[in-house]
Structure 1
Amino acid sequence: MIRSQRWFVVALFFLAGIINYLDRAALSIAAPLIQQDLHFSHAQLGIVFSSFFIGYALFNFVGGVLSDRLGAKLVFGVAMGVWSIFCGATAFATGIVSLIVLRVLFGMGEGPFSSTNSKMVNNWFPRREVASAIGVISSGTPLGGALAGPVVGYLAVQFGWRWAFVGIMLLGLAWLVLWVTTTTERPHDHPRISGEELALIEAGQAGQEAATLAPDGAAAPLGYYLRKPLVLATAFAFFSYNYVLFFFLSWFPTYLTEAHHLSLRDMSFATVIPWLLGSIGLALGGFVSDGILRVTGKALLSRRIVLAVCLGATAVCVALAGRVASVSGAVTLMSLAIFFLYVTGSVYWAVIQDTVPREHVGGAGGFVHLLANLAGVIGPAITGFIVEATHGAYGSAFVLAGGVAVLGSICSAIWIREPRARALSVKRAW
Structure 2
Amino acid sequence: MRKKYRWFILVLLFLAGVINYLDRAAISVVSPIISKDLEINAAEMGLIFSSFFIGYSLFNFVGGYSSDKLGPRRVMGYSMGIWSFFIALTAGAWNFSSLLIARTLFGFGEGPISSTTSKTINNWFPIKERAGALGIAYAGMPLGSALAGPLVGLLALHMGWRWSFVIISFIGIIWAIFWFKIARDTPRKHESVSNEECLEIESGSISNLLSEQKDVKMRTFLKHPTILFTALAFWTYNYILYFFLTWFPSYLTEAKGLSISEMSIVVMIPWIVGALGQALGGFFSNYIYMKTGKLLFSRKAIIVPCLLITAICISLTGVVDTATSSVVLMTFAIFALYLTSSIYWAIIQDTVASNNLGGVSGFTHLLANTSGIVAPALTGFIVQFTGDYTSAFIFAGILAIIGSVAVAIFVKPIILKKSLNIDVQMDKSIK
Q: TM-score, normalised by structure 2?
A: 0.91
Mapped to 1, the partners of 2:99 and 2:292 lie a distance apart of 50
**Pairwise CA distance, 1:157:** 3.3
Contact 1:138 1:282 in 2 (8 A): yes
Cα 1:335–1:208 change in 2 (3 A) is same
Mapped to 2, the partners of 1:153 and 1:334 lie a distance apart of 24
1:80 alignment counterpart: 80
For the pair 1:335 / 2:331, whether they are aligned, the reply is: yes
Q: Which moved more, 1:130-139 or 1:322-331?
A: 322-331
Contact 1:30 1:156 in 2 (8 A): yes
3-state SS of 1:142 partner: helix
Mapped to 1, the partners of 2:39 and 2:326 lie a distance apart of 28
Mapped to 2, the partners of 1:304 and 1:152 lie a distance apart of 38
1:227 alignment counterpart: 223
Give 1:290's match in structure 2, choosing from 286, 291, 296: 286
For the pair 1:417 / 2:420, whether they are aligned, the reply is: no
2:420 alignment counterpart: none
3-state SS of 1:219 partner: coil
Where in structure 1 are there 5+ consecutive unaligned residues?
none
For the pair 1:239 / 2:242, whether they are aligned, the reply is: no
Q: Which moved more, 1:419-428 or 1:97-106?
A: 419-428
Deviations 1:54-83 (A, max 9, x none): 111100000011000001010011110111
What does 1:112-127 correspond to in 2, within 5 Å?
112-127=112-127
Contact 1:46 1:380 in 2 (8 A): no
Mapped to 2, the partners of 1:92 and 1:165 lie a distance apart of 10
Deviations 1:161-211 (A, max 9, x none): 333222222211111111111111111121211232122112243x5445x
1:313 alignment counterpart: 309
**Pairwise CA distance, 1:427:** 8.4
1:180 alignment counterpart: 180
**Pairwise CA distance, 1:127:** 1.2
Deviations 1:68-101 (A, max 9, x none): 0001010011110111122222233344433322
What does 1:47-86 correspond to in 2, within 5 Å?
47-86=47-86
Where in structure 2 are there 5+ consecutive unaligned residues?
416-422
Contact 2:296 2:430 in 1 (8 A): no
**Pairwise CA distance, 1:217:** 7.0
**Pairwise CA distance, 1:47:** 2.9
Mapped to 2, the partners of 1:29 and 1:417 lie a distance apart of 42
Mapped to 1, the partners of 2:333 and 2:2 lie a distance apart of 32
Contact 1:75 1:116 in 2 (8 A): yes
**Pairwise CA distance, 1:351:** 0.7
Q: Which moved more, 1:134-143 or 1:415-424?
A: 415-424
3-state SS of 2:25 partner: helix
Deviations 1:86-134 (A, max 9, x none): 2222233344433322221111111100111111111111111111111
**Pairwise CA distance, 1:11:** 0.5
1:275 alignment counterpart: 271
Deviations 1:294-343 (A, max 9, x none): 22222211212211111111122222223333332222222111111110
Contact 1:125 1:204 in 2 (8 A): no
2:103 alignment counterpart: 103
2:93 alignment counterpart: 93
For the pair 1:402 / 2:405, whether they are aligned, the reply is: no
Contact 1:21 1:144 in 2 (8 A): yes
Mapped to 1, the partners of 2:335 and 2:312 lie a distance apart of 13
Give the paired residue count: 423
Contact 1:46 1:381 in 2 (8 A): no
Which amino acid in 2 is paired with 1:9?
A: I
Q: Which moved more, 1:379-388 or 1:67-76?
A: 379-388
Q: TM-score, normalised by structure 1?
A: 0.91
**Pairwise CA distance, 1:13:** 0.3
For the pair 1:200 / 2:214, whether they are aligned, the reply is: no
Cα 1:2–1:314 change in 2 (3 A) is farther
Cα 1:399–1:293 change in 2 (3 A) is same
Cα 1:329–1:99 change in 2 (3 A) is farther
Mapped to 1, the partners of 2:274 and 2:21 lie a distance apart of 12
3-state SS of 1:426 partner: helix
3-state SS of 2:63 partner: helix
Which amino acid in 2 is paired with 1:81?
A: G
**Pairwise CA distance, 1:16:** 0.6
Mapped to 2, the partners of 1:263 and 1:113 lie a distance apart of 35
